[in-house]
Chains A and B, each alone.
Chain A
Amino acid sequence: GAVVSQHPSRVICKSGTSVKIECRSLDFQATTMFWYRQFPKQSLMLMATSNEGSKATYEQGVEKDKFLINHASLTLSTLTVTSAHPEDSSFYICSASLLGLAGPYNEQFFGPGTRLTVL
Chain B
Amino acid sequence: DAKTTQPPSMDCAEGRAANLPCNHSTISGNEYVYWYRQIHSQGPQYIIHGLKNNETNEMASLIITEDRKSSTLILPHATLRDTAVYYCIAPTGNQFYFGTGTSLTVIP
Contacts and interface: CB of A to CB of B under 8 A. Distances in A.
A90 interface: no
B93 interface: yes
19 contacts: A34-B95, A43-B87, A49-B94, A49-B95, A95-B43, A95-B44, A100-B94, A102-B31, A104-B32, A106-B34, A106-B49, A106-B94, A107-B34, A107-B46, A107-B49, A109-B46, A110-B43, A110-B45, A113-B43
Contacts of A107: 34, 46, 49
Interface of A: 1, 4, 6, 32, 34, 36, 43-46, 49, 91, 93, 95, 97, 100-104, 106-113, 115
Interface of B: 30-32, 34, 36, 38, 41-46, 49, 51, 87, 91-101
Contacts of B30: 102-103
A101 B30 CA distance: 12
Contacts of A45: 98
